[in-house]
Structure 1
Amino acid sequence: MSEMAVHKLSLEPALSALRAAGESTRLRILALLSGRELNVKDLTQILGQSQPRLSRHLKLLSEAGLIERFREGSWVFFRLAEGTPEALLAEAIVAGLDRDDPVLQLDAARATAVQKSRAEAAQNYFKAHAKEWDRIRSLHVAEDQVEQAMIDALGRGPFDLLVDLGTGTGRILELFAGKADRALGFDVSHEMLSYARMKLEGAGLAHAQVRHGDLFHLPLADGEADAVVLHQVLHFLEEPALAIAEASRVLEPGGRLLIVDFAPHELEFLREEQAHRRLGLASEQIGRWCADAGLDLKSHHDLAPAGSGDESKLTVSLWLAEKASVGAAGEKPNSAAKDGAASSVEEAAA
């Protein structure tokens, strides 16, 4: 926020933004998007206006830089803009509105009802799969032990941008929200994204957001993040090395990658019933994949369950890697990461 404060709007962009906001429906939209993400269908239900009319309002607000849009499959979501002088102006406009105004109160009540309906659908999906996840959790140490080990491994922060790949329920974003100025989770499941969004909004974590995205092709610039987490994701993937390479690409030099997954095991039912592609991951393989991606493996820690000799139990492993600095020739070490990662996949399959 301090970095944004030194940038000011010149007269014409300021007038453009104020003109865009200077209409009753558009002011109501700004108020609704404060602290929440809504799509066009949500807004039509809340405001009782046609989609073409609302789309026009949203286009004007977006062009003026007061709101931003992002696509999630066939849906487009909107939220207040962030990180720009126009975003500061949008926040100031919303802050100056009287939330006791009857129109705004009715809008807020309708928004709560819409979000409740969306949350119920997401919770139904979560409940339908809860037994499967509970069974897996019963095979390893308690989640609070795993989470504390993750916090200890990744460090205090604060992180400018923490990225969680395969975010699922958004729990990792919740866990690290207090250590990040911004937290962003990606997943390909619309149901899980709905559930995660409901949880994050309910917790008041406006700076923690989820997006639909392929973890092999992230919509992030090179070096944009300073922390990335891959929690219980790699064992589902055909090519985990490529996911590590992509995580390395978006990390800045010195940025950290935390991988949490299972150590090698023999529980075949996880492959047959839970779609686990790999029965755990060996530390040596993780080390090779990290090296190929320009990452230095800094630490490896195992959390074995009580009675660790029991082959029906799972050991949770944590690996912390750090993005290598730019080489002497000025070339980033992960420039050939994907080629190296692909060769490592072939090694693992051999």
Structure 2
Amino acid sequence: MSPQGFDAFLRGLRAAADPSRLRLLAICAQGEWTVSELVDILGQSQPRISRHLRILADAGLLDRFREGSWVFYRRAQSGEGARIARTICRLLPAGEPQLVRDRERLEAVRAARRAEAERYFDSRAAGWDSERDLGVDGARVEALLVERFARERPRALLDIGTGTGRLLEVLASHVGTATGIDISHDMLKIARARLDRLELRNCEVRHADMYRLPFADGSFDAVTIHQVLHFADDPEAVLREAVRVLEPGGRLVVVDLLRHDREEMRRERRHRRLGFEPEEMSAWFAALGLDEEEPIRFDGEQLSVAVWWARRDRLAEVGSERLARGRRAA
């Protein structure tokens, strides 16, 4: 270890040497959280939580990033601080009563958030196709996907967050079989009716949670996530689960907004993230053993969308080790 690395290691240990900060580090390993959410989970005052977060972030154990009026915290993703944070989290006793209670409160906050999202999607199901494009010409994005899938013709496609099944309709003739999953029962009712009306017998939809996909490892050779990640409270966890069900050499396609400052999207459309920076997506892909291609950008009048392409590492053992490390670290 270099002298700089040793100093960073000591800073990290000092920063974590507090019961509340250890609890925060464990929670922030489970996704991205705002200060108000962390206050609810730990049951401490906002000034106290903010002080602990600042110490952890200054030591490089947490990432802090602002989007509009919201500030998110998560366990550090890169650098010496990230390695130290992962090591500390692995050493925490999973059965410690306080950590168990924190996880229970974390799941309660997460469940409430997701239930609210499900109610929102149920209420918007009928007009979802027109809303989903978000000011960018969806036909251009669909044409790009059709061109690529017609060339590659995957055996089995999984569409995560399929909504009303529009992407299944678009890609049905270019894949062997296609499965769409969604958390909204009302969305799925529309999707099933659509698939039946169009007699797309190679397509099906299922009710499922994108964080816990009901499929075995390597079940699909293509996975799409179309305008979904900005709703996720833990985008990396969604990607990790997508990669788990993707076979080595399989294709992952993510379509989502590029970073923007339209704060009203949170109030009016329940967006949690205001889009993504290409560098952020690249870091996630690299951590999950994905070989990324150059993303393709589509600009609308006010918002821009990117299509990210990647393949899972063909060395299945390497990919499995990376995913296992990600699950253990979480």
TM-score (norm 1): 0.56
Residue 219 of structure 1 aligns to a residue whose secondary structure is coil
Unmatched runs of 5 consecutive residues or more in structure 1: 1-124, 307-312, 343-350
Counterparts of 2:175 and 2:128 in 1: how far apart (Å)? Answer: 31
Deviations 1:276-308 (A, max 9, x none): 0000011111111111222111221110125xx
Mapping for residues 177-256 of structure 1, pairs under 5 Å: 177-256=172-251
Are the equivalent residues in 1 in contact too, given 2:159–2:179 (CA < 8 A)? yes
Q: What is aligned with 1:157?
A: 152
Deviations 1:227-279 (A, max 9, x none): 00000000000100001001100111110000000000011110111110000
Distance 1:136 1:257, change over 3 A: closer
Mapping for residues 326-345 of structure 1, pairs under 5 Å: 326=315, 332-339=321-328, 342=330
Are the equivalent residues in 1 in contact too, given 2:252–2:309 (CA < 8 A)? yes
Choose which of 267, 273, 291 in structure 2 pairs with 1:272: 267
Choose which of 289, 294, 308 in structure 2 pairs with 1:299: 294
Equivalent residue pairs, number: 210
Choose which of 228, 246, 258 in structure 2 pairs with 1:263: 258
| Counterpart residue type for residue 272 of structure 2 | R
Unmatched runs of 5 consecutive residues or more in structure 2: 1-120
Residue 222 of structure 1 aligns to a residue whose secondary structure is coil
Are the equivalent residues in 2 in contact too, given 1:293–1:336 (CA < 8 A)? no
Are the equivalent residues in 2 in contact too, given 1:324–1:333 (CA < 8 A)? no
* Alpha-carbon distance, 1:126 to partner: 7.8
Mapping for residues 1-350 of structure 1, pairs under 5 Å: 134=130, 137=133, 139-154=134-149, 156-305=151-300, 313-326=302-315, 332-339=321-328, 342=330
Residue 294 of structure 2 aligns to a residue whose secondary structure is strand
Deviations 1:29-86 (A, max 9, x none): xxxxxxxxxxxxxxxxxxxxxxxxxxxxxxxxxxxxxxxxxxxxxxxxxxxxxxxxxx
Counterparts of 1:290 and 1:301 in 2: how far apart (Å)? Answer: 16
Distance 1:145 1:126, change over 3 A: farther
Counterparts of 2:287 and 2:319 in 1: how far apart (Å)? Answer: 18
Distance 1:266 1:211, change over 3 A: same
Distance 1:338 1:296, change over 3 A: farther
Counterparts of 1:174 and 1:194 in 2: how far apart (Å)? Answer: 15
Are the equivalent residues in 1 in contact too, given 2:125–2:186 (CA < 8 A)? no
Distance 1:155 1:264, change over 3 A: farther
Counterparts of 1:129 and 1:302 in 2: how far apart (Å)? Answer: 27
Please provide the CA RMSD for this pair. Answer: 2.4
Q: What is aligned with 1:112?
A: none
Are the equivalent residues in 1 in contact too, given 2:312–2:319 (CA < 8 A)? no
Q: What is aligned with 1:52?
A: none
Q: What is aligned with 1:6?
A: none
Identity of aligned residues (%): 39
Counterparts of 1:324 and 1:255 in 2: how far apart (Å)? Answer: 8
Counterparts of 2:136 and 2:210 in 1: how far apart (Å)? Answer: 27
TM-score (norm 2): 0.59
Are the equivalent residues in 1 in contact too, given 2:260–2:303 (CA < 8 A)? yes
Are the equivalent residues in 2 in contact too, given 1:265–1:280 (CA < 8 A)? yes
* Alpha-carbon distance, 1:153 to partner: 4.5
| Counterpart residue type for residue 242 of structure 1 | A
Residue 135 of structure 2 aligns to a residue whose secondary structure is coil
* Alpha-carbon distance, 1:157 to partner: 2.7
More helix by share: 2
* Alpha-carbon distance, 1:143 to partner: 1.4
Are the equivalent residues in 1 in contact too, given 2:122–2:185 (CA < 8 A)? no
Deviations 1:165-202 (A, max 9, x none): 00001011111111111100000111111100000011
| Counterpart residue type for residue 254 of structure 1 | G
